[in-house]
Each structure stands twice: as structure tokens, then as C-alpha cells.
Amino acid sequence: MKLRYFMGEKKLKAAVVLSGCGHLDGTEVREAVLSLLVLDQQDVDVKCFAPDINITQVMNHKTKEATKEKRNVLVEAARIARGEIYDLKGAKAENFDMLVVSGGYGVAKNLSDLSENKDMVTVMPEFERLVSEFSVTKKPIGAICISPAIIVSILSSKIGKEESKVKVTIGDDREQLIEKLGGEHIKCDTGLSIEDEEHNVFSCSAYMRSDESKFSLNSCSGKEAMINLDVITFDINIAIDGQNGKTMKRNLKGLEFVTKDDGSWYINKDFGNDRFEVIVKQS
């Protein structure tokens, strides 16, 4: 990006939007830190922003359970920015050359209601305004993890009939989320990215791709099963090969994950006389 957008001796400036601190209720910390590192390596001036609002649902990142705590998105995001962060209301595209939005559930819970409504997403007005400003002025927008979905949701309503759909990636998108929001999804490996040069949107999947998780299933009777993990809600669906070749689908929505010392999560579930242990481990 530095080579493409470098303008003479002018130092580029990036607005980085954070949505809290921690992937379950805010910004995914690793994605944010690595983004800031790359921008620094490219000699880009960075200014971080976050909305001055309460976190929609504060999560305990050890137990992965919701808590009754009240926390502020801006205050929590300041942990990542080492205190150098500003209210999102003050961010204006005219003062920057690019916009970068990391992922994490904060994007789907605090900047929007995507976690609750995947068909007609409502986006925070200040964030929608900022994204629209960058789009209108044809300045690049970098979107990571789940944030491309919100970018698509914002821009799709503003694109004319003669323009093509916004092209992004969130990895595999088995639920066709991007299409539902009005965009075009491009399947992409985790280490690669998608460039939509027409709309100046650059996206990568990061932790959204299923190849970022390892799945194993053990059964005392040796039955085969397939596991699907919803990366937005953390719901697990297990399809078990039953009698007469039929498949039984059991939704484990709402079950609590137990965190093990090695970083994996596990749940146990009985299906009749059979017991399955599902292990989901971040790679």
C-alpha cells in the first residue's frame, strides 16, 4: 500500500477504528496489533478511534461467559492504543489517507448488530458516516476478519445500479453472509487478501477462516460425525451418521465452553447411549 499510495514526500495517515479490547466483545487484539505494526513499518502515521459507548455484552475471556459488568468501548480500546485514542465522532476522512478496521465481535456487537441480525444489519451512525466518507473520496478501506461484512452492509446501499457489487473475503462464508448483505464474496486463503480496486476495499479473513481452528470428535461407539463451528456465535452443530444412512443434526447452541490449560475448549454431550467430546482448539 505504501508503494501504491505514497505521494511525493508526504507521510501517509491512517485512521484505525477499534471496537473494544478482546475478540469476544471488542477488537481482536492480535489483528489490531499486527495491523498497527505493519502501518508503523510502512512509516504511516496512525490515529486510533473508538466509539464512546458501553460494550453491548461484556464477556469473560477465560470462561467465554457473559458477565454483568459495564465497560466502555473507548476506555477498553485504549488498552491496545496505549491511551492514544480518540472518540469516533471526531474522525473525518478528509484528515486521513486510509481507513483500517480490525475484526473481533466488537464489530458485530458494538459497531453494528450483526451478531443479532444477519439479514438487515444496523450500523452505528458515526461508523457508517466515516466509512461512507472514505468511500466517496475514493480512499482505501482495509477490512479484517468480520469487518468486511459491515463494510459491505454500509456500501451496498450507496452503490448505483451501474456499479458492481463490493468484493470482499471473510474466508469461506458458508452461510453466504456477504451475499445476503449485498456484496460478492471471494473465497480466499488466510494468508492472502482480496483487492476490490473499483471500490477501494481491501480485505482479509484472519480468524474468520475455518482453517484457523482444529476440530476433533471422539465417540465411544466409533460413529462418524461432522462438526461445524459458527465463527460469529460460537454455536456448534454436529451431524451424526445414524441408522439407515440418515443424518441426525443436533444443535448445541447455548452450551458453555470449558477452557483447558492448552487453550482448547471442550464440551461433552450425550446422544442416547453415545457420548461425544468436541474439542475446538485455536491454532
The string of pLDDT tens digits covering residues 45-104 is 999 999 999 999 999 999 989 999 999 999 999 999 999 999 999 999 999 999 999 999
CA 109 centroid distance within chain = 10
Amino acid 141: pLDDT: 98
In whole angstroms, give the CA distance from residue 185 to residue 175. 11
* Residue with grid cell 473507548, as numbered in its chain: 74
In a shared domain, residues 263 and 180: no
Specify the pTM.
0.73
Q: Which of 170, 204, 238 corresponds to the end of one domain?
A: 204
Active site positions, annotated? 145
Q: CATH number for the domain including 200?
A: 3.40.50.880
Strand stretches in 115-246, DSSP E:
141-144, 167-168, 184-185, 194-196, 201-204, 213-219, 225-229, 236-241
Q: Is residue 183 part of a domain?
A: yes
Q: Which stretches in the chain have pLDDT values below 50?
A: 1-7, 212-220, 222-226, 229-236, 238, 240-260, 262-283
Which range of residues forms the domain containing residue 47?
13-204
pLDDT for 279 equals 44
Position 269, amino acid:
K
- The per-residue pLDDT for 110 is 97
Q: Are 247 and 239 in contact (CB under 8 A)?
A: yes
Tell me: do 35 and 165 sit in the same domain: yes
∠ CA 239-241-246, nearest 5°, is: 95
Dig out the grid coordinates for 14 from the structure: 491512517
Is residue 1 in some structural domain?
no
